[in-house]
Amino acid sequence: MEVASHYRSFGGEQLFCRHQSEETGTEMRFAIYVPEAAQHGSVPLLWFLSGLTCTEENFTTKAGAQRMASRLGLALIVPDTSPRGPGVPGDPAAAYDFGIGAGFYLDATVAPFAEHYRMESYLTRELQIALPQRFPIDVQRQSVMGHSMGGHGAITLALRHPRLFSSVSAFAPISSLTNCSWGQKALRGYLGADPTAWRGHDATLLMADGHRIKHLLVDQGTSDSFIATQLRPDLLAAACAEARIDLSLRYRDGYDHSYYFIASYVEEHLEWHAHHLGCDELVVR
């Protein structure tokens, strides 16, 4: 694991790293913020899963989350959104919503994508072992949040791996992959044409099939152009109500789908996760 660049930030260190992944068979990149509190022992870990076309840089450079992460003593990790490199199929110039930059946080099962597109195993298996070997983090205390495609990833991975994450939140998540064109395209391309293989990667269907999380925080902008066609928070609300999952769905008047929206409320999400991770007291006052 190589640190490609690092920067001092709010007393901690913002690092951009790369390593050879066994799961994807490619070089993978991620960003990690290590707060000053890590000098005194392992700290909890909060994941941020980004949306379509993003890399590990978007949230890291635009959201302004390091200040609050430092105050709360939280490490932040932002993985890339897909494998990249020679031989990886999925030209982003041909389609922004499938292939490179659009891994959808699942393991593909059909050729030619199955060889490299193993984002679920990369996040929930490989990095679970690799990160604590390199950084002072406590993987027994970790939570996850995400935006859009990454919001889908955060919710579905929390449902599929309930013992891994203490809490989950999302900004404008894709609530039901089977009920939007982005999701249908990804599911067909990565998992094949049989819809029965899709159920395990749709948050609403996972809930209907008995998968559970204790609580869920979601912020959704009312001026988001994707709300009615791709995101469908109404379906998420109905599924949570049926499954009796404690959902806090907050509609934010006038906000859109951009990082201006995320930056406006990201500190509230960090504080919410810190509470569920047992970090009620601010480390730095």
189-226 per-position pLDDT tens digit: 999 999 999 999 999 999 999 999 999 999 999 999 99
* The one catalytic residue among 82, 148, 166, 167: 148
The answer to whether 224 is a known catalytic residue is yes
- Kindly report, residue by residue over 30-73, the tens digit of the pLDDT: 999 999 999 999 999 999 999 999 999 999 999 999 999 999 99
The answer to whether 107 is a known catalytic residue is no
Reported as type and span, the H/E element at residue 221 is strand 215-221
Architecture of domain 2-276: 3-Layer(aba) Sandwich (3.40)
Q: Where exactly are the structural domains of the chain? A: 2-276
Section 134-162 average pLDDT: 97
Q: Is 174 exposed, middle or buried (0-12, 13-18, 19+ CB in 10 A)?
A: buried
* The one catalytic residue among 211, 257, 269, 273: 257
* The one catalytic residue among 80, 97, 202, 224: 224
Which letter does DSSP use for residue 107 in this model? B
Expressed in angstroms, the distance from the first to the final Cα of the chain is: 33
Section 95-119 average pLDDT: 98
pLDDT band at 285 (very low <50, low <70, confident <90, very high): very low
Cα separation, 82 vs 24, whole angstroms: 9
Predicted confidence (pLDDT) at residue 272 exceeds the cutoff of 90: yes
Section 152-162 average pLDDT: 97
The answer to whether 80 is a known catalytic residue is no
Please answer whether residues 220 and 132 qualify as being in contact, where contact means their C-beta atoms are separated by less than 8 angstroms: no
Which two tokens mark 260? Answer: 């201006």
pLDDT computed for residue 149 by the predictor: 98
Please answer whether residues 80 and 17 qualify as being in contact, where contact means their C-beta atoms are separated by less than 8 angstroms: no
Cα separation, 143 vs 19, whole angstroms: 23
Percent of the chain residues past pLDDT 70, beyond the cut: 98
pLDDT computed for residue 283 by the predictor: 57
Cα separation, 246 vs 193, whole angstroms: 33
pLDDT computed for residue 279 by the predictor: 81
- Answer yes or no: pTM beyond 0.75: yes
